[in-house]
Amino acid sequence: MKKIILIVLFIILSFLAYNYFAYPNFRQIEEVLSKNQEEANQNNWRDTYSNDVQKNQKVISEFINKVAKAKCYNNPFFLPKEIDKHTAQRLAKILSDSSSYIWGETTVAYNRKLLFLDDQDNIIAITEIDEENEFIDTYPFRRTYKWGKLSKKGRKEFFAAIDN
């Protein structure tokens, strides 16, 4: 009986250790993805906004088409939830739609992470979700994305897709 308990305990500890050490370094991912936006922020946004919006619409469209899947991380001790290509592209489209947002409080604590991956499993974007499922923050940030509180429509569509 002791052998069985030790084996089960070893399996559980191995699983937890693997998940802990395989958990992505989100700060590092955000830094790499944020470097893409540094160039856009060098100019006065009032002078370049119109051109930036047109350019970003193209980039967003390419980004949505590039998304192959997503992974949602809630806790470092559990496996991430895998999200299929169709749903991941739908989530990216919702996040890219400015009507999915309203202005809200800006000081929040994030507890969930959603990674968007391409066909080669490269991380192409990361979205952080707060504890109340109201606020999101996406890297790399684009001028047509808003950061803030999800609208009722945006929240309903987003979480219907992610929690499906």
Q: What is the pLDDT of residues 55-94, one digit of tens each?
A: 777 878 888 889 999 988 887 667 788 899 999 999 888 8
- Residue 10: band (very low, low, confident or very high) from pLDDT cuts 50, 70, 90: confident
β-sheet bridge partners, residue 113:
73, 128
User: Which residues form the domain of 152?
Assistant: 25-162
In a domain, 12, yes or no: no
**For strand 148-150 and strand 135-139, is the pairing parallel, antiparallel, or unpaired?**
antiparallel
pLDDT value of residue 9: 84
- What's residue 43's pLDDT? 58
On whether residue 1 sits in a domain, the answer given is: no
Is 39 domain-assigned? Answer: yes
Q: Is residue 126's pLDDT more than 60?
A: yes
Domain assignment present for residue 2? The answer is: no
Give the model confidence (pLDDT) of 29-46 as tens digits: 777 666 655 555 555 666
Count of structural domains, the chain = 1
Q: What is the reported pLDDT for 57? A: 78
Asked, for residue 19, whether it belongs to a domain, the answer is no
Average pLDDT on 92-99 reads: 83
Residue 17 inside a domain? The answer is no
- Rounded average pLDDT over 111-140: 85
In-domain check, residue 61: yes
Q: Which of 116, 117, 154 is nearest to 135 (CA)?
A: 154
Q: Is residue 18 part of a domain?
A: no
